Structure 1
Amino acid sequence: MTVVVISGPPGAGKSTLAATLAERCATGVHLHSDDFYRYLSHPLDPSTPASKSQNETVVDAFLAAANAYAGGGFEVYLDGVIGPWWLPTLKATLPDFRYVMLMIDLDSALHRTARRGSQPSATPRVVREMHRQFARDASRYAASIIDTTGLSTDAVLVEYVRRMSQGGFEPPSMP
């Protein structure tokens, strides 16, 4: 089965889209990559250079889980801050995947993440930095992007379904 990687900066709507898609199919799995960081007793801030080894291990773990579910016939919707810098790892690990990058303007991302208390690691500094990293190369990945700024959950879902039905979201070339 195909793994759909739903990426983007904090606040872009990744978890909402992944959960909605998984709920729509009998064999759907919403794999929330942030959960894998919560399993660490003493995690490092994943946005810092010191966390490189930790991040590589966590990515290996959630990709192994995605492969296990997909190999068992489940439709996997993997969401997380899985930027294009992880594409070489995704391509080496996932036999069949699609790459969706949700983008949102910075003000909306800051507003959304401030409203939710479930993700204390999404500080304004981290949101700004992750947004900057995704926005930096957005033009290279335009075919993978859905801009969620100002869109309802239903509108994002409709755009995803439309583009996926047309063969969209093929993995982009290496960064």
Structure 2
Amino acid sequence: MGEPDQGGTGGRVIVITGAMAAGKSTVAELLAGRLPCSVHIRGDVFRKMMVNGRADMTPQPTQAALDQLQLRYELAAHTADRFADQGFDAIVQDVIIGPDLAGFIDQIQTKQRYLVVLSPTVSALEIREAQRAKEGYGSFSPNQLDELLRRETARIGYWLDSSAQTPDETVDDILTNLDQAAV
């Protein structure tokens, strides 16, 4: 796992996904901090850019919500590719689960691309959600998202049960097993 080449051959795209409260934001930020030339792309930033007319995801989403989610994914993949083109390791972090995951990975054009799916237990998600300052689930329960993750998400990349790990231990695990995350 070498450093990104600043001579123009490009960096890597590393996608960190999982249910809300799985630790994606914390892990992605720590991972980016350990790499010599990196960016952290938070997919939720693209959602927050929509000031008026935003349609949030629900268990029964509207077509507008689905279209906006696809736009968010497209923007995140394109942004990651552009940073990787410039030699940065682009760490993309978002909730990309269910049937959308394989399509999202296909949108990434960077040759060196990796996928890490954080998959802690439902009880770990519930504990982490209770400790968070923000409410991330909206109209979804941790159980619903976990079921979508485990039953409808393609088994690609490196799946990591981080239930018993600290965020730093999770980053150590990812760096040690990054070759298993290649997609």
TM-score normalised by L of structure 1: 0.85
Q: 1:37 to 1:160 in 2, by over 3 A?
A: same
Q: Distance in 2 between matches of 1:101 and 1:78?
A: 12
- Report the AA paired with residue 94 of structure 1: Q
Query: Aligned match of 1:74 in 69, 83, 88?
Result: 88
SS across alignment from 1:30 = strand
What is the root-mean-square deviation of aligned Cα atoms in Å?
A: 2.0
- Report the AA paired with residue 115 of structure 2: Y
Q: Which runs of 5+ in 2 are unaligned?
A: 1-10
Q: 1:71 to 1:143 in 2, by over 3 A?
A: closer
SS across alignment from 1:49 = coil
* 8 Å CA contact 2:26, 2:167 repeated in 1: yes
Bigger proportion of residues as helix? 1
Q: Which runs of 5+ in 1 are unaligned?
A: none
- The residue that corresponds to 2:174 in the other structure is 160
Q: Distance in 1 between matches of 2:92 and 2:104?
A: 14
* Aligned positions, number: 167
CA drift of 1:124 comes to 6.6
CA drift of 1:121 comes to 4.0
* 8 Å CA contact 1:12, 1:102 repeated in 2: yes
Q: Distance in 2 between matches of 1:71 and 1:62?
A: 14
- Report the AA paired with residue 49 of structure 1: P
Query: Aligned match of 1:117 in 113, 127, 133?
Result: 133
TM-score normalised by L of structure 2: 0.81
Q: Aligned residues: percent identity? A: 20
- The residue that corresponds to 1:41 in the other structure is 51
